[in-house]
Chain A
Amino acid sequence: MESNHIVTPGELVESNAANILPGKGVYKKDGKIFAKVLGIPRKAGRVVSITPLRGKYLPKKGDLVIGRVVDITLNGWRVDINSPYSSLLPLKEFPAMVRRGDDLSKYLSIDDYIASIVANVSSQNIVDLTMKDAKCKKLDQGLVFRINPLKVSRVIGTGGSMISLIKQKTNCKIILGANGVVWIQGLPEQQLKAMQAVKLVERLAHVQGLTDKIKSFLES
């Protein structure tokens, strides 16, 4: 990520847009393509888009997110997913059988953390969650912290290489939410080490040969 590749809003990305389609983060005007967000332009086939460098998490269908229960309603739980939009986990999307008239806080109570999947996002960004997936669970114990949601894919690495390196070296269970919330469970020192490693990857996301650096950090 060299800084001369970074474009700012309003900057020209592509001067001849005759054969080019505008993707995310760009707009087309007078046959030219301009940037709409601060980020790095990328070209995939005929589509030009911009990978943003900063910003809030905007929910997308199918994302695995880690959320905190903030309210219990008559038909489910309200969950804070570190986004401008709060979300709802309906009763029927909870994996266990919930009997009629049961106290919902028996299953999930306020301030519990859960790993869940974004089931649906409406046009007004009302978010529905589901926990009916093998990856989803209530997160008991462990460490929860936040990183920049746009750096999550870097922490995962190509084909999960980075995250599996951290998991393997620290012997921790790690769940990375697409919303930038990370959950780590393991021995206390190992947990801390894994957190530091994840934060290091976030901070040095633009550095080349990062895997080796993280490896030596974890082995030190």
Chain B
Amino acid sequence: MAYARKDRGLLEPRPITARVGVIENADGSAFFKIGRTAAYAAVYGPRDLYPRALQNPRRAVLRTHYNMMPFSSVGERVRQGPKRRSIEISLVTEKALLPVLELEAYPNTAIDVFIELLQADAGSRAAGICAASMALAHAGIEMKDLVAAIAVGKVGGELVVDLEYEEEAFEGEVADIPIAMIPSTGEISLLQMDGPISKQELLKAISLAKPVLERIVKIQREALKDYYKSV
């Protein structure tokens, strides 16, 4: 029997909510929730960067920190502090955001992005990227476009969009592919892969992600505009 989901279609993402301006102290902040995965992002900067040796006279330095809260996952407590996993995700998040940012406008400064996962139910790096790009826009930083991200993959022989934890832990073959895209150009700024998948299926999975990513960007833009509606 082919794999099927109880509450949504295979190509259907989980319900999404997005908000900006959730952290008053920050220069820009955002909240992005997809299903049971919820991420906060706070942006500080452009601001002074010390020690001076780290400064770049041509552009701002982007520093991204990804972290899961101790209570965020259903399993054992997530221990605090940077781990191999969170360091890697911080790095790929940074690389996913860099192509849109116009860092040349702020030489010798730092822009700090902090991503905190309140709840994690798979797709946390994608949710983090979505929140971070909204927070950067909310901070008034110059950028060519927003970035949207989602995971696609293959579960039980079927291509699916937006895997949740139960599917990632599915017995049998599972492929999990987080994708981040710059919507206006269709450029892909993050593509990772975990699990076996054929070339044709990979290309198919990427094309399945595109309409969903366009929907996410719409939600991100709405959230940025809603902030000024409510003020």
- The yes or no answer to B228 lying at the interface (CB within 8 A) is yes
* Residue in chain A with minimal CB distance to B105: A58
Which residues in B have their C-beta under 8 angstroms from that of A68?
none
Chain B min CB distance to A193 (Å):
23
Which residues in B have their C-beta under 8 angstroms from that of A6?
224-225, 228
Segment 102-149 of B: residues with Cβ below 8 Å from A = 102, 106-109, 137-146
Known: A9-B100, A10-B184, A56-B27. A124 touches B226 (CB 8 A): no
Number of interface residues of A (CB under 8 A): 30
- The yes or no answer to A86 lying at the interface (CB within 8 A) is yes
Stretch of B45-53, B63-71, B76-84 contacting A (4+ beta carbons < 8 Å) = B45-53
- Bound state CA distance, A123 and B185, in angstroms? 31
**Interface flags, A63-95, vs B, CB<8A=1, else 0:** 000000000000000000000111000000000
CB pair A125–B107 under 8 Å, yes or no, is yes
Chain B min CB distance to A187 (Å):
31
CB pair B224–A8 under 8 Å, yes or no, is yes
Chain B min CB distance to A31 (Å):
14
Query: Which range contains the number of B residues in contact with the other chain?
Result: 20 to 34
Chain B min CB distance to A67 (Å):
14
- Bound state CA distance, A38 and B144, in angstroms? 11
- The yes or no answer to A160 lying at the interface (CB within 8 A) is no
CB pair A124–B108 under 8 Å, yes or no, is yes
- The yes or no answer to B186 lying at the interface (CB within 8 A) is no
Chain A min CB distance to B50 (Å):
11
- The yes or no answer to A134 lying at the interface (CB within 8 A) is no
Which B residues contact A (CB, under 8 angstroms)? Answer: 27-28, 45-48, 57, 100, 102, 106-109, 137-146, 182-184, 220-221, 224-226, 228-229, 231
Task: Give me the 8 closest cross-chain CB pairs, A-B, nearest first.
Answer: A55-B140, A10-B145, A54-B140, A3-B229, A84-B46, A84-B109, A9-B143, A8-B221
Which A residues contact B (CB, under 8 angstroms)? Answer: 1, 3-4, 6, 8-11, 25, 27, 34, 36-39, 52-56, 58, 84-86, 123-125, 150, 203, 206
